[in-house]
Structure 1
C-alpha cells in the first residue's frame, strides 16, 4: 500500500497546485538564472563567446531534452503506480529508470562529443567561432551523465509531489555558479584560466554535486530503497520497455524542441551572428517570465498521473481549469515587463547595439506569444499524465520542425522578408499548436473514464 504522505489524491486541487508549482517555479527561476549568469560572463569575454553559447544551445538542449523526457515519462509511471497504491511497482519503476538513464547518458556522451563539430558546422560555425563552441560543449557532453540522472532522481521526487528538494539544489547551484564562473574563466587559487571552457566546467561540477544530493533524497522516499543491492542493479527488460514507451516519446518531444531551436537558429544565422546572439539573450529573458508556467506543468503532470491512477478523473479536469486561470494572471505581468522593458533587459547582457536591436525586436513579439505556452504545455502535460506521450511528439513535430521550416523558408527565401518575419512566424505557429492541444485534450477528458488510454 502507498504511504498516504505520498498521495496527491486527497487534498484540494488549488492547495496541491500551489504546493507543487511554487517550489518548482522558484527552482526553475534559479536554473534560468544559472544560464543567465553563464551568458553574462560570456559577454565579458566577447560577443563571439555570447554567440558561441547561443549557437551551442540547440545542441546542448538535446542533452537536456533526453533528461527532461525521461524524467517526464518516469514521473508519469511512478505517480500512476503510487495513485493505484502499488508501491512495489513504483519502486521497480524508479530503480529501472536509473539504469535506463545511465545507459542513455553514456550514448549521449559518446555521440555528442564526436559529432558536435558536424552539428556546429551545419549552423555555419567555423574558425574561432567553431572552436569556442567546441570548447564549451565538449565538457558538457563528457558530463552528460549528471544531467540525465538528475532528471531521473527528480522524477521520483516529483511523483510524490516533492518539488522543494529540486528547488533547493537549483538555488544553491545557481548561487555557486556566480562564484565558479569567474573563478574558472579567469583562474586563481590553483585553477588555470580556462575562458569559455571554464563556464562549461562550472556547469558540470554543479550538476555532479546536485546529482549526489538528489540521489540521497530520492532514496529517502523509499522508492530507491533497494537500489544499492544486487537486485537494484539488475536490468528488467519488461520494466525498461515500459519506461521506454512512456519516456522515449517524451524525450523525442523535447528533442523536437531542440531541433526546432536548431531550425530557428539556422534561419536567424542568415542575418548574422549578432542576430543569433540577440535571440540567445532574449530567450534567456523569456525563460524567466515563463518560469511559473513550468511549475504549473509539473503540477499538472503529477496530479493527472496520480489521480488518473486512482480513478479520480474529475480532479484532472479541475486541475487544468485552475492552471489556465493561474497562468493567465501570471502572464499579464510578464507581457507588461518584456514589452515595455525589452531594450533595457537585452542591454543588461551586451552593449552591442545590433544584438540589443535583434533581441528587443524578438521580445516585443514574444510578449504576445506568452500565454500560448501556458495553454500548450499544460494540456501536453495532462496527456503525458494520462500515459499518452505520443501526442506531445506529433504536436512537437508540427510546432518545432514542419511548420517553422515551411514558414521561415517562405518568409526569408520566397518573400524576402526580414528578421522580424521569423519572430511573427514563431507567434503564429505556437498559437496554432496551443489551440489544437486545447481542443484535443478536452476531447479526451470529456470521454474519461471510458476513453482508451494510450499506454497500459
Structure 2
C-alpha cells in the first residue's frame, strides 16, 4: 500500500504551519547560535565584533552555493515524490550529496588561498584584520561537514521533514553555550584560545550535526550509504541539479557579493560603523526568523504540487504564505521600534555603535514587507523549476543599484550613513514589486501549458 503524500492532500494552512514552525524554530536556534558567538566575541572588543562581521560575509558567500543546490535537491526530490517516483527521488538525493561533497572541498581550498586578499579588499586592516583571519581560517575547516549536512536537510525538506534539522540546531545551540566560554577562557587542561575558541566550537558542532543528518537521511530509505560509494554518478541527474542550482546559487552569490560591497562602503565610516552593521544584522535576523520558515514551507509544498500539476494548491499556498508573512512583518516593525535598542546593547554599549545600529534596523524593519515578497516569490520559482530570473533580480538589487546609490551617497554627496539605509529601502522594494509580478506570470504560463497538454 502506497503511503499518502500529505503535501498533495493536506489542508494548506495546516501544512504551512506544520512545516514552517519547526523550520523557523531551527532557524531561531541557528541564529541564536550566532548571537551567542557575537555576545562572547563582543566581550573581547568592538574590533573583534567588526572582525566577526567581515568573517560572516565570507561564510555567507560559501553558503550561497549550498542554497542553490539545496533548493535544486528539494525541487527535484519533491517533484519525483509528487509523481510517486520514489526510486528517481533516491537518485536525485544521492547525486545531490555527491555534488555537495565535491563543491565543499573545492570551496574550502579556494577560500584558504584567497582569504586575506578578500578581507583587505573589503576594507579590513590592523587588529580587525588580524582577528578576522584568526577566526575564519579555523571556520573554514567546518565548511565540508556543514554543506553536506545541508544537502541531507534538502532531501528531508522535500519529504516535509523540517523537525530533524530543528532538533540538531537546538542541540548545537546548547553545545555552543557551553563550548564558547570553555574554549575562549580555558579550563584546566584546555588552553584559553580567545576568538579562535569560538571558531573551534563551531567546527566541532558542524561535525556532530553532519553525523546526525546523515543518520536521519539514511532512515528515509532515499539514501543508502553503502550503495552510494559503490555506484557511479548519474550524469543526467547531475546536469539537472546543476542547471536548477546555478541561477539560485548565482542569486545567493550576488547577495553575498552585495554584502561585501555594502561592507566596503560602510567601512568608510569607520570600524564602529562596521560593528554596528554586524550587530544590526543579527537583530534583524532574529525578527525575520518566523518569516524565513515560510520559504521552506513554500518550496516544499509547491515542488510536490507542481509535480502533480495541482496549480490551485500552489496559488493557495502563495496567498496564505504572503498573508502570514505580511502580518509577521508588521509585528516585526513594532518589536524593533520598542525593543531594538535594548537588543543592540546586549552586544555592545558604545553609544556610537548603538545609535548607528538602531537607525539601521529601523529602516530594515520597513523592508521586511519587501523581503517576504522576495522570499516567497523566489521559493515559488524554485519549486516550479523556473529560477532563471532570480539572479537577474539579485544583480539589480545587490550589485548594480547599490554601486550607483552607495557611490553617490559616500563619494559624490558625502552624506551620512543613514542614506545608505534609505538607498536599501528603495532598491529592495522595487525588486520585490517586479519579482512578484514576474512569478505570477510564470505560474499562468505553466498552467496554460499544462492545460494545452491535457487537451492535446
Same fold (TM over 0.5): yes
Matches of 2:320 and 2:293 in 1, distance apart? 13
- TM-score, normalised on structure 1? 0.96
Segments of 5+ residues of structure 1 without an aligned counterpart are none
Pair 1:230–1:335, CA change in 2 (3 A): closer
Q: Look up the SS of the partner of 2:43 in the other structure.
A: helix
Q: 1:418: how far off?
A: 1.1
Equivalent residues of 1:73, 1:243 under 8 A apart: yes
Deviates more, 1:121-130 or 1:381-390: 121-130
Partner residue, 1:242: 240
Equivalent residues of 1:74, 1:97 under 8 A apart: yes
Matches of 1:148 and 1:231 in 2, distance apart? 18
Moved over 6 A (4+): none
Q: 1:399: how far off?
A: 1.1
Partner residue, 1:206: 205
Partner residue, 2:143: 144
What is the alpha-carbon root mean square deviation over aligned residues? 1.4
Partner residue, 1:274: 272
Give a deviation string over 1:2-55, Cα, whole Å, max 9, x none.
642x54101111111011001001110111001111100000011111010011
Partner residue, 1:173: 172
Equivalent residues of 1:154, 1:166 under 8 A apart: yes
Matched, 1:290 2:288: yes
Segments of 5+ residues of structure 2 without an aligned counterpart are 451-456
Q: 1:127: how far off?
A: 2.9
Equivalent residues of 2:294, 2:321 under 8 A apart: yes
Deviates more, 1:176-185 or 1:58-67: 58-67
Pair 1:232–1:256, CA change in 2 (3 A): farther
Q: 1:140: how far off?
A: 1.5
Q: 1:128: how far off?
A: 2.4
Q: 1:438: how far off?
A: 0.9
- TM-score, normalised on structure 2? 0.96
Partner residue, 2:114: 115
Equivalent residues of 2:142, 2:202 under 8 A apart: no
Partner residue, 2:454: none
Matches of 1:27 and 1:189 in 2, distance apart? 33
Q: 1:448: how far off?
A: 3.1
Q: How many correspondences in the alignment?
A: 450
**Pick from 330, 344, 347: which aligns with 2:345?**
347
Partner residue, 1:40: 39
Matched, 1:364 2:362: yes
Matches of 2:397 and 2:54 in 1, distance apart? 20
Pair 1:192–1:438, CA change in 2 (3 A): same
Give a deviation string over 1:182-203, Cα, whole Å, max 9, x none.
1111111422111111111111
Matches of 2:288 and 2:187 in 1, distance apart? 37
Matches of 1:383 and 1:263 in 2, distance apart? 27
Q: Look up the SS of the partner of 1:349 in the other structure.
A: coil
